[in-house]
Structures are given as C-alpha cells and as structure tokens.
Amino acid sequence: MLVVETIAKIRRAHFVQGKGIKAICRELNVSRKVVRKVLRSDETAFEYAHSVQPMPKLGAFKPELDRILAINDARPVRERLTLIRIFEELRGLGYEGGYDAVRRYARGWQGEQASLSAAAFVPLSFDPGEAYQFDWSHEIALINGTTMTVKVAHVRLRHSRMLFVRAYPRESQEMVFDAHDRAFAFFKGACTRGTFDNMKTVSMPLEISPEAPK
C-alpha cells in the first residue's frame, strides 16, 4: 500500500520539480510502474491485493516443522538448534523453499508457545493462627551516642500480616526463643507452625498448639 505522503512526493517531484520517472524511482525506491500509476491517476491511496493467495512451498512441511520446533524447544538452551540448522534439517526432508519462510514461521510458532505458557503462580493463603514467619535483619542503631549494628528479629503472622520486631546484640538460639516468647505474648497467642529463612540458630522446627491469634 502506498501512503499519502509517498504519493505526494512522487507528484511534487514530477509536476513541481520537473524530475523524470527514473530519478523519482531512484530517490524514493519505488518501481516505474508505481510512479506511472500515481502520475496518471488522481487517487490519494493505492492498495494491492492478491486475487489468489499463492501456496508457499512450506505448506506441506508445516507438520514436520512443528515437530522439529517442539523437540528443539524441549531441549536445554545450550543444546538447541539454531534456525539455520532447523532449516537445513527441513531441507534434508525434501523442503525446497527458502530460509526466510522457515524463519518467519518459526518466530510465529515461538510467539504462540510463549502466549500459551503465560506466567502462572499459586497464591498463598493461610487461616488465622495457622502460621507465622521468622527472620533476622541487620540494622544500624545509635545507642548511648555509639553507632552499632544490631540484629532485629521479625515475627509476622501469615494471615493478618501483623508484625512484631525486637532488637538483639547477636543472633543466638537464646535470642530466637526470647523473640518468640515476647512475640506470642504480644499477639496474645501462638500459631501451630512457623517458617524460617535458613537460620542456623534454629536447629529444629517449633510446633506449638496454644490459643491461636489472627
């Protein structure tokens, strides 16, 4: 399809600037047939449509190409074939068409697969009193005029996201137990299970079954 701007450039170059058809073709990178058609017509847009859509040579090989692409996609990234290798493999099966057709089809196939495998996630939900999360953070604090690093224990209820924090001088198992004791007193109850972020100070999971907070 010729856009209005290109049509205007062709007519301006010929009728206003007096340029010949050959010069216009060279400058605008269009064929002589197109230039002549524009100059002989008063139309402001030209569309071209095939009366019969030609059957590409790839048509009969699409099922085989789909199979090759699927096998290739299932391989580890480092072992996957390039599109050139896929093209050569298809040629070995009798395909006589060009590489561009294979490349365009493969790109479209990959786009379809990407849309089919859209990102999915499993939402996490917890009942009241079911679980809590414990973790440490390192913070800088000013204590009695001295700047020092303290370890802060974080205890968070997984259902309500209610948070309890308390600072300690170090990460020890005694500090972990103290943080739990104070957090459960603050929450006015404890959860049935807790989750921990790979802490060496907790050697075994804590299983508690008192009255549960929300």
Please tell me whether residues 29 and 78 are part of one structural domain. no
CB 177 within 8 A of CB 168: no
> For the chain, what is the domain count?
3
The answer to whether residue 47 sits within a structural domain is no
Question: Residue 4's pLDDT band (boundaries 50, 70, 90)?
Answer: confident
The answer to whether residue 124 sits within a structural domain is no
The answer to whether residue 168 scores a pLDDT higher than 80 is yes
pLDDT digits 0-9 by tens, 73-120 = 888 888 888 888 999 988 888 888 888 888 889 988 888 887 766 555
The answer to whether residue 210 sits within a structural domain is no
The answer to whether residue 100 sits within a structural domain is yes
pLDDT digits 0-9 by tens, 15-36 = 888 899 889 888 888 888 888 8
The answer to whether residue 66 sits within a structural domain is yes
User: Do strands 131-143 and 163-168 pair parallel, antiparallel, or not at all (unpaired)?
Assistant: unpaired
Which residue range forms the structural domain that includes residue 96? 59-115
Please tell me whether residues 110 and 138 are part of one structural domain. no
The answer to whether residue 142 sits within a structural domain is yes
Q: What is the pLDDT of residue 111?
A: 83
Q: What is the pLDDT of residue 67?
A: 92
The answer to whether residue 175 sits within a structural domain is yes
151, two tokens: 């370890």
With b meaning 16 or more CB within 10 Å and e meaning fewer, what string describes 161-180? eeebebebeeeeeebbeebb
